Amino acid sequence: MLNASPAFREAVVADSRRVVARAVVEVISPDIVEGVPASGGAAPFAQLSQLTDKVFAQSHPYATLEPNAWPLDSSREIYGNGPVQGQQAFTSAAASDGEGTYQSGPWVEVNFSGVSILQACAVFFETDPIYGLPSNFTVQVLSGETVGWSREVVGNTAKSVSFYDFTVHDPTALRVIFQASGIPGRMARVSEVVLGIYETWDNDDLVSVDIKQQGDPSCVSLPYGTMTIAMDNSAHRFDPGQPGGLIASLEDRQGIQISMGVRLPDGTDEFLPVGVYYQYQGGWKTGAASLSMTWTMVDIIGLLTGRSFVLPEALPTTLRGWVEAVVAQLGVNFVGKYTVVPSIANTAVTANSAEDITGLSCGDILRYACMIAGAWPRAGNQTGDLVVEPVSNLGTTLTLDNLTAYPQIAANKDMASVTVTIFDGSEKPPVYTAAGRESSSQNLTVNNPFVHTQTQAKAVAEQILSWYGGQKISTTGRGDPSSEIGDWDTVELNPQATTQGRRIYQTLNIFGGILAGCKSQFLVPPAEAQ
């Protein structure tokens, strides 16, 4: 369950509410490796490593000797009084002359590798009006020593400039060269460089958003979340029939971060993140005349489920180590996109040999490692990262007022027995069998290469059986963006009765600014079932 203000909690269940969506879209190569930036004529306090950190303003004001740019109100610090603070990115050493011309032609360059094609870029300038904006400058995309594309901008008055009308194969650098400033006597400043597309879309851009989130705390399976998002494409930027369109820039593992918000009584919108979803196996299609475009995307678990696990040089020995190794299979820019609860992070998870795990998928490794630690994996709403944790006791109350009908209650599927193979190094490994419920006809065999003792086998079997039997509750209602799969929620069954269940499935559907028709499922353990 995500943290939200009391005002959000009140607004999301109000009789009348306004729900808004926001998507941060990255069409940037998922395999990009950023090199060391370069510059000609950078100030000594410039922090060039900040040029691609997705922070779009120089947030910490300092005083300089630019004319009429130093308010004497103690609002600006002095360079040299300790380490440089905040966002500085690129600032030129020399200021423009009295005519606004840069005599020395300062420039800044972002170097990178791992990109096969570049069809878009953007440059963001300092937003403080006291510094003005670069008026004349040139943007170049290089491939080695060759300038693959160049665009001169004259008379600029925008705080950022974006370009979509070029194609450069095997690009290696983007360079910005400054010729003049809008205010004489000003240093040139760049806050951010985007090597592709990094945009925020809101309700005006989004036709619809359909999100499905699901999980399996038993780790017998590994269901994953999906998002189908339809966006306005009237500009034909993503038109496969449009020369120079951006379709060639779409790659697996590019992400869209999605948030949903509720209009508060004071007129502001409070947003909560509902995950990051990634391009996967194409997954896009255009509407009539390509005026709209629909993407079907998956969460980080969806990227991992069927991916073959490539053995590292040294096999991990802890839960955190295996999770780290699994996520790293997605590429250099996914390293670290995981969270393992500290209380279980160092749980011993070992394999007897590389042969025991050869041929397993990343999803198999993840499920089996979680079984040993008594944990389960999910995609976190807050960051979109892989989260491995025990089940939570947090949740909310789902009332009849926020449902379109009474909840449906059905028996949850049962299990007759669970047989776990014990990988003890013997030629014919022994097994441990735990009995479930005789009324069931379903039997499960688990070949988990991290199970080495009967104690581990017993714990795995009992953990699995605890998620079978009992009841399953299905609801359809208005939806709540603060809810996450894994929440331990209270569900109002009728005006006289409630029960508690584990949220294992939910949808969040927005169309025309309305969040409605959202489905949820809850598991009620046998001990709680009535």
Q: State residue 59's pLDDT score.
A: 66
Residue 502 near residue 470 (C-beta atoms within 8 A): no
With a CB cutoff of 8 Å and minimum separation 6, the contacts of 206 are 21, 23, 229, 230, 231, 232, 510
- Residues with pLDDT less than 70, the chain: 59-60, 80-82, 527-530
Burial 27-50 (b: 16+ CB within 10 A, else e): bbbbebebeebebebbbeebbbeb
* Crossing angle between the packed helical segments 454-465 and 362-373, to the nearest 10 degrees: 100
Angstrom distance (rounded) from CA 298 to CA 198: 19
> How many of the other CB atoms lie within 10 Å of CB of 241?
10
- Distance between CA 274 and CA 226 in Å, rounded? 11
Q: Name the E strands within 341-486.
A: 376-379, 386-389, 397-398, 408-411, 417-421, 431-435, 443-446, 471-477
Which DSSP letter does residue 96 get? P
Cβ-based neighbours of 268, under 8 Å, separated by 6 or more: none
Output DSSP code: residue 247: G
285 in helix, strand or coil? strand
- Spatial distance between the Cα atoms of 239 and 242, rounded to a whole number of angstroms: 5
Say what the pLDDT of residue 529 is.
Answer: 56
**Directed axis angle between helix 319-328 and helix 362-373, to 10°?**
160
Q: Which residues pair with 361 in a beta bridge?
A: 308
Strands (DSSP E) along 478-517, which ranges?
Answer: 488-494, 497-511, 514-515
Task: Yes or no: say if 135 and 180 are a contact pair by the CB < 8 Å rule.
Answer: yes
3-class secondary-structure state, position 333: helix
Question: Regarding beta strands 397-398 and 488-494, do their DSSP bridges make them parallel or antiparallel, or are they unpaired?
Answer: parallel
Distance CA 443, CA 466 (A): 14
The predicted model scores a pTM of 0.92
Going 314 to 316 to 321 to 324, the CA torsion angle's sign is: positive
pLDDT tens readout for residues 237-296 = 888 877 777 888 999 999 999 999 999 999 999 999 999 999 998 888 887 777 888 999
Q: What share of the chain is helix, strand, coil (3-state, %, to 5)?
A: 15, 40, 45
List, for residues 430-464, the tens digit of each pLDDT value.
999 999 887 778 899 999 999 999 999 999 999 99
- E runs forming strands in 197-264: 197-201, 206-214, 226-232, 255-263
What is the predicted pLDDT for the residue at 528?
62
* Count of CB atoms situated within 10 Å of the CB of 234: 10
- Give the integer Cα–Cα distance in Å for 46 and 288: 48
Q: What is the pLDDT of residue 414?
A: 92
**pLDDT confidence of residue 437:** 84
